[in-house]
Amino acid sequence: MIVQSLIKKRMEKLQSRLFRYFVSESPYTYEQFVVNLTDEIKKFSGASFCAIYLLDEWKGWFQIHSKDRYMRESLRSHFSLHDLYTQTPNQSDLQHIINVKEVGSSLRVTSLHSGGNVFGYLVLKGVAAIHMQEDLLHAIGSEVTKCIKKIEGFYTSMEEEKKYELLYKVTSHFHSSIDTDGVLKEIIETLRKTYRDFQYYLLLSNDYTKDNDLPVRELTYDIDFESSASTQAYLTGEVQMEDHLVEKRSILYAPLKGKQGIYGVLKVVTPGYLHFPKKDIEFFIFIANTAGKALENAQLYQQSRKLNSDLQLINSTSQKLNSNMRLTEKIRYMAYKIQQSFDAGEVGFVTYEEPAIPNVLEGSTEYFASSDSRPLIHYVKESISHQEGPLFIGDLDAKPIEHVLPYRSLMAVPMKDHEHISGLAIVLQKDPYFFTFESFKLLQSLVAHSTLAFANSILREKLEKAVITDYLTKLHSRVHLDQCVEKHVKNDEQGSLILFDIDNFKNINDTYGHQVGDEVICQVADIIKAVIGNHGLSARWGGEELAVYLPMLPSEKAHDLTEMIREKIAMSTSPAVTVSCGIAPWKAEWVRPTRKQIVQQADQALYKAKSSGRNRIVTAHPIKERS
């Protein structure tokens, strides 16, 4: 009892001194505190030397702590768990393990254990140590254990507080920001502040960042991907660890997990072989999961913005295409929007009024207006017909196209009118694998929304053409000619209206039939179109009568063209026919006539030509005053 009481008093004294060190103003680190602890135990026990070996969980060995540098050099700086497991850990064996040089037999060693696990050893040397009672040695070891565990808990709490304070700041920023680069930067900075000796890499499954300062690498599949720890971490969503024998370092891979998926892997590289403690693994998992959720939020935000932008593009394009624009203007606008939105090189729209003949719509980009595009258009049509759906090609060089193409990336979407493919939208870029699948899906939506607008424009312009075009001769209608003459008379300074009448046309019908009569009218119409060209506007006036209006041409030029037409008709028609012609010239300097006055003058001139022998030209007297 007396011995136990003395030991208790001595322990209280030791506790008092240790407490004073603990509350000292000096901001000790954990390692410094342990070193100072050995000095206190040395003074307390009367030993000539004191050291404490503590288990370093990272390195998997017991590391020495002592103030006595000379004796530290005489003992092993560390010994591994393997050294212990291969021998029976009694005192003599431990002396053998920790001895580097001959230090005599004056060492005393006792284990430090907590919860049944040995976490260190207390080593004393000297006469006082040799004669120390076993109970006192164990008591000192027990007191040292309590002290170290309390100090360890204190410093661990401080470290954990710092770590999670950093994490709190990072997490707060994650939830208030959708800046992916900012998120990734804070992840790396937090890790570097927490574990300064490690290297960190972010292996990402997508191109999340354009910041070259970030340690981002592409997550790739190794040839033997089953054995790749990074691949396994990405595929399984579980932490993976491996040791690199050549580089002599350990690596941890933590998946960046969000709620909807895994977005990459955090790679942690140690400077040597290390064992990752459970609490530190949990920290890496926590920060990796936080990063995964942040990346997911950023991605979802970007996707929502992209979706909103896509909807705005589709809506604005649809509104524009459904306006009263001409077809060519719509095609040109659509090609521009696709070039702008997808950074496309060329955009073409092709229709098939006849199954085998492509018609490149005016407004497509320059490449599609050239004959060089024909082999590509043929290949796209055949491919789409074969697979009955849109075409997405990353590299055209790998496709069987005879003609050498200046373009590598292709997107092609069929334009369907009531489930019938009536045309194609083709988008090209010179670089291979340029377009994303999201761009491909957006193009399909744009084409689907634009096809009806194109079809309506084509139909409307066909109807307009039908209204102003004579169905038999394909010349303009009399109504359209009247409207044009009305406009020109108001705005021009001169012009001429010419009326043509096929001579003795009734005899043609009676002799050859009405079908031949129609063919004769068409022959005459073709000659008129060929001679007039771009000089004027030709129309069917009615029955076997045809008309031409020549704006801004002097009357002499109008007469020459009329004479050329008359001669060609007499020479080229079969069965041969002739025409009588009446010309009504006008000039604003004489008087600006009305359309009715010009028509009346031309009609009177035609009547004179027919009544004076036919197959001739009569020019009406100029209108110089209003009737």
Which stretch of DSSP H or E encloses residue 481?
A: helix 478-491
φ, ψ at 309 (rounded to 5°): -65, -40
Low-confidence ranges of the chain (pLDDT < 50): 1-3, 25, 100, 103, 223-226, 421, 627
Residues 6+ apart with CB under 8 A from 388: none
Give tens-digit pLDDT for 577-587: 999 999 999 99
Measure CA 194 to chain center. 35
pLDDT at 2: 47
pLDDT at 627: 45
Q: How far is residue 604's CA from residue 582's CA, in Å, rounded to a whole number?
A: 7
Handedness of CA 470, 476, 481, 487 (dihedral sign): positive
74: left (phi over 0), alpha (psi -120 to 50) or beta: alpha
DSSP 3-state assignment of 83? helix
This prediction's pTM: 0.45
Q: How far is residue 92's CA from residue 82's CA, in Å, rounded to a whole number?
A: 17
Q: How far is residue 371's CA from residue 367's CA, in Å, rounded to a whole number?
A: 8
C-beta separation of 580 from 609 below 8 A: yes
pLDDT at 129: 84
Encode 515-554: b = buried (16+ Cβ within 10 Å), e = exposed: eebebbbebbbbbbeebbeebbbbbbbeebbbbbbbbebe
473: left (phi over 0), alpha (psi -120 to 50) or beta: alpha
Q: For strands 617-619 and 579-587, give the pairing.
A: parallel
pLDDT at 144: 85
* Sequence-ordered alpha helix ranges (H) in 492-594: 505-512, 514-532, 555-572
pLDDT at 224: 47
C-beta separation of 349 from 363 below 8 A: yes
Q: How far is residue 78's CA from residue 62's CA, in Å, rounded to a whole number?
A: 5
What separation, in Å, do the N-terminal and C-terminal C-alpha atoms of the chain show? 150
φ, ψ at 589 (rounded to 5°): -70, -25
Residue 348 CB burial class (10 angstroms; 0-12, 13-18, ≥19):
buried
Give tens-digit pLDDT for 365-402: 989 888 888 888 888 888 888 877 888 888 888 787 76
Which residue(s) pair with 582 in the sheet?
A: 499, 618
Which stretch of DSSP H or E encloses residue 189?
A: helix 180-194
Q: How far is residue 447's CA from residue 216's CA, in Å, rounded to a whole number?
A: 37
Eight-state DSSP code of residue 426: E
Give tens-digit pLDDT for 189-237: 888 887 888 899 988 866 555 556 788 887 765 544 445 888 888 888 8
DSSP letter string over 198-243? -EEEEEESS-----TTS-EEE----TTGGG-HHHHHHHH-S-EEEE
pLDDT at 585: 94
C-beta separation of 571 from 615 below 8 A: no
Q: Which residues are known to be catalytic?
A: 544
Catalogue all structural domains in the chain, each as residue range(s) with its CATH number: 2-158 (3.30.450.40), 181-301 (3.30.450.40), 322-458 (3.30.450.40), 478-619 (3.30.70.270)
Which stretch of DSSP H or E encloses residue 126?
A: none
